Structure 1
Amino acid sequence: RQHRAERASLQRTRFLGTLGARIRVPMTVVLGWSELLQRTQLTPAERSQVDSLHYAGAHLLRLVDDALDMASIESGQLQLQPGPFLLQRLIEEVHALLLPVAQGKSLALVWHSTLPATAVFIGDAPRLRQILLNLLGNALKFTAQGEVRLQVQCAGQDQDVLLRVVDTGPGMTAAQCQRLFQRFEQADGAQTAARYGGSGLGLSISRDLALAMGGDITVTSRPGDGACFQVRLPLPRSDAIPSDAPSCAPQDANGVGELRVLVVYPATSVTDVLRALLGSLGHVGLCVPGLEAMPKALREHGRWDVIVVDPVLCVGGERAGAWLSRRWPGIPRVALTPRADIGAEREAIAAGFDLFLRLPVSRATLTACLARCRRGA
């Protein structure tokens, strides 16, 4: 019976992983075009409609990702990938990704750290990033006016790092705080879900991730006084140079300079969005459906600064990463995939790619990736 239950749990996790990957392709189209529409001249009514479309798409994607994370945790398949990373760089990236949300609500989103900017820590950077995005995103969602603040410091003489997310939202009662980390629970139950949306999984998953990393998340709040979520994690210091640290905070496209980007991906609906996103950032994008078309594109259109490729593509039985590193070793290679599992990035880097992008791609993540390509060129 236990074997059957474990097998069913594994099958569910695999199904959700496949579903997550497949839904990311159409969501790239929805979120990409809606983000570009948000930057155009619209009437107030049109802007409200486009914003609603974009936020609904992002919410749908988050629901699928939350379900996948929950299934991985329940089946015991959650795997951490600790390594050296720059904590301040990660914080800058998270801040840059959420700043448009704060600005859209006329909220201040600020952060302060007492740690050295160049301090390197050992930990699972993508999972810490997920925790911060969940906590800060929640704080922004429930705060109507004022600010959301992230405070970072060391805890005494040990290696623990404290990250506090403080907001000026409505606050919560002690009873609400007690059930906040339960799955499918929100502060006011059905009323909160109806008003703000959400699966009721984000905080539960964040705490499970923190516990898996040897830490914890706690909350203190009173009605009318906002809330403070504290993340405590054991993150040892390191002298190592991060090889796969999170990208730096996305800078303005003009700060990167014009790049010529060749995109190799079989779905034209995706490449159309990527070409438009690249154009909106001041870059030149050419899209082809397969690796076989690359030599002709390179001959006809001259130099390319970056190549973005679906890593599952092959030429003569040779995978894209190995083929590209052999044919054009001097051009940065970026893997572009809809896979939602955390192992996708590790496999892409091992297969010969320099950087990694997961669909759907936003202007912020695309700019951050291209900035890293520029720095590494």
Structure 2
Amino acid sequence: MITGSDFYHVMTAMVPLYVAMFLAYGSVKWWKIFTPDQCSGINRFVALFAVPLLSFHFISTNDPYAMNFHFIAADTLQKIIILVALAFWSNLTRRGSLDWTITLFSLSTLPNTLVMGIPLLKGMYGDASGTLMVQIVVLQCIIWYTLMLFMFEYRGAKLLISENRGGDMVMNNGHEGGGAGEKAAAAADGKAKIMPPTSVMTRLILIMVWRKLIRNPNTYSSLIGLIWSLVSFRWHVTMPAIIAKSISILSDAGLGMAMFSLGLFMALQPRIIACGKSTAAFAMGVRFFVGPAVMAAASIVVGLRGTLLHIAIVQAALPQGIVPFVFAKEYNVHPDILSTGVIFGMLIALPFTLVYYILLGL
């Protein structure tokens, strides 16, 4: 039974996040405190420092030797089920496409676990649920965001091939392809271009993905945080106080700054529902119903019961993650849908997750 005290704890965790978001929104939309250039600078600070250090803090303090493998298995199975279903849909139906496969995978499986999930679930189910959310974040950063990058790069390579510019693409990256570029921009009659072999294309895609990853601060924060957690919890090593304090200064502000940055982003958009009402409704249905439904099925299959099952379902009903939107915008794959998922999802997330929390607690 949900008590008034339970509801108060949830609101204590969530209301401060919304306060930061709406203060940022008002400072741009109504009070004109920040210019677009200043907003860009704040967003850059959050992307390069606040969120990576926040990720490092959560990952480095997570005990990798005490992870709940049943919970991790449920989360992994949910993503695999949806990915396989989308792959079949994309290849066996006329309406299916790689673009929609990527977008629907993002909408249904990649919630805002770090920024909203940890404080919300802690308010609902206590500190133990926060530890589970950190485990989900670790897998997101290391596995699923890498998979997303690979799919985006694979899509880009296919587009270049379809435009008969595969030879040009390899030529432009010939210094990494071991001379393959020179063998391929060659042409039989000066007009037709020789398409690069599959092995060359695969290698080029991997190089593109690697370039993106090594330029992403979140990659370093996740990897270093994981390595440190493996070392510290294995040999009980304590981080030097000077380093710990240096990190905590920014990581402590990371959560609030991430929400503030999201509010700035909301205020700079011409409208909240950028993709149209019908598409937005479809996206919200995928985000708040399809994802949790598949998660419930996957959790039951791996044997989750009781509170763990409730946590798995509620975390799957969190609003759209911010990182998938950043990828969608960079690669121009339905960025309007993902931005609507982030913005509109944040506005309706609290009532939706509270409904799930209440229904599961009956």
> What is the TM-score with the length of structure 2 in the denominator?
0.28
Q: Which has the higher helix share?
A: 2
Q: Which has the higher strand share?
A: 1
Relative contact order: is structure 1 or structure 2 higher (C-alpha 8 Å, sep ≥ 6)?
2
> What is the TM-score with the length of structure 1 in the denominator?
0.28
